[in-house]
């Protein structure tokens, strides 16, 4: 039980694994949920494109795909993150790579908690929640 980090066809990003675990646990707890098992799988655009095609029948690049195994209040899932996309998004949004990576990590967790982002109002709430939790990440990870 807990949070595990994996990499598929990319180098594992230089992250504070324990810091991210503590941050994510705090976020989950703050939302009134409990952590079961969450896997973060860091990968390339091409790897995530294949996951997108195979499991979702989508033929386009994305920065994240979240597979939700949540049962009740127990947060569980697999979160695939394209390191290539995170890098591109960081350039587009003019933010540091690590800031964008933390945003994507918490975005996946928020999906597992139950937040959606299809409708404009849902997307606005999701962004608000991301910003709230991003404001706390420095309490857990060193830069």
Tokens 């857990």 identify what position?
Answer: 140
Q: Is residue 21 part of a domain?
A: yes
**pTM score, whole prediction:** 0.95
Q: Is residue 143 part of a domain?
A: no
Domain CATH number, residue 119: 3.40.390.30
Q: Is residue 68 part of a domain?
A: yes
Q: Is residue 57 part of a domain?
A: yes
Parent domain of 30: 2-137
HEC letters along 35-103: EEEEEEEEECHHHHHHHHHHHHCCCCCCCEEEEECCECCEEEEEEEEEHHHHHHHHHHHCCCHHHHHHH
Q: Is residue 43 part of a domain?
A: yes
| Total domains in the fold of the chain | 1
Q: What is the pLDDT along the chain (143 residues), one digit of tens a residue?
A: 799 999 999 999 999 999 999 999 999 999 999 999 999 999 999 999 999 999 999 999 999 999 999 999 999 999 999 999 999 999 999 999 999 999 999 999 999 999 999 999 999 999 999 999 999 999 999 75
Q: Is residue 142 part of a domain?
A: no
The SS3 assignment for 142 reads: coil
């Amino acid at each position: 039980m807990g949070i595990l980090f994996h990499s598929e066809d990319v180098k594992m990003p230089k992250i504070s694994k324990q810091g991210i675990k503590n941050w994510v646990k705090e976020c989950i707890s703050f939302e009134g949920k409990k952590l079961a098992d969450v896997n973060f799988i860091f990968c390339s655009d091409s790897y995530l494109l294949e996951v997108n095609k195979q499991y979702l029948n989508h033929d386009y690049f994305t920065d994240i795909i979240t597979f939700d195994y949540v049962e009740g209040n127990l947060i569980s899932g697999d979160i695939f993150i394209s390191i290539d996309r995170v890098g591109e998004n960081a350039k587009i949004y003019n933010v540091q790579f690590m800031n964008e990576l933390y945003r994507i990590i918490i975005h996946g967790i928020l999906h597992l908690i139950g937040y959606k982002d299809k409708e404009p109002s849902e997307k606005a709430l999701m962004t608000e929640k991301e910003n709230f939790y991003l404001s706390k990440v420095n309490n857990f990870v060193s830069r």
